[in-house]
Amino acid sequence: MISPSVDLIVQFGLMFAIGAIVAVALITIAHILAPTSKNPNKGLPYECGVLPDGDARLPYNVHFYLVAVLFVLFDLEAVFMYPWAVSLAKLGTVGLIEMFLFIFILLVGYFYAWKKGVLEWE
C-alpha cells in the first residue's frame, strides 16, 4: 500500500507479467521440444495445394475501412456516456435532456450512414 495509483500499476503489472510468463514459457518449451527440418516448400503460404500467386496484401474492400471509421465515432460516443451514466443521479433533469439531445444528434449521423449504405453488405 503505497498510493492507490501505484498499487493499481503493481496489480495490473503483476497480472500482465503472469500472462506473459505463461505465454513465453509455452512457446519456449515448444521451441525446445519441437523438431525442425528444412524444406524450401515448407515456407510457402497455404493455398489449398495450389502454388501461391504472389503477395496476399492486395487492395481490399473499402467497406471495412468505413466500418472502422464508424466504429471510432460511435465508440467514442459510448465512452462519453459512461461519466454521464455514473453521475446521472446528481445531474438531474438537465443532464437527462442534454444527453437526449446528444443521442438525437448521434442518431441523425447513424441514420445518415444507414441511408448512405455503409451498413449494407452484399
Q: How far apart are CA 69 and CA 61, in angstroms?
A: 14
Q: Least distance (Å) from another protein to the CB of residue 90?
A: 9
Min CB(29)–another protein separation in Å: 5
* CA distance linking residue 81 with residue 102, whole number of Å: 10
The residue written with cell numbers 524450401 in the block is 40
CA–CA dist 46, 56 (Å, integer): 11
User: Is the Cβ of residue 45 or residue 112 nearer to another protein in the bound state?
Assistant: 45
Residue 1: all three cell numbers together: 500500500
Burial class of 56 by CB neighbour count within 10 A (0 to 12, 13 to 18, 19+): exposed
List the x/- string, 47-66, binding to another protein by CB under 8 A. xx---x--xxx--xx-xx--
Binding interface with another protein (CB under 8 A): 1, 7-8, 10-12, 14-16, 18-20, 22-24, 26-27, 29-31, 33-37, 42-48, 52, 55-57, 60-61, 63-64, 67-68, 71, 74-75, 78-79, 81-82, 85-89, 92-93, 96, 99-100, 103, 106-107, 110, 114, 119-122
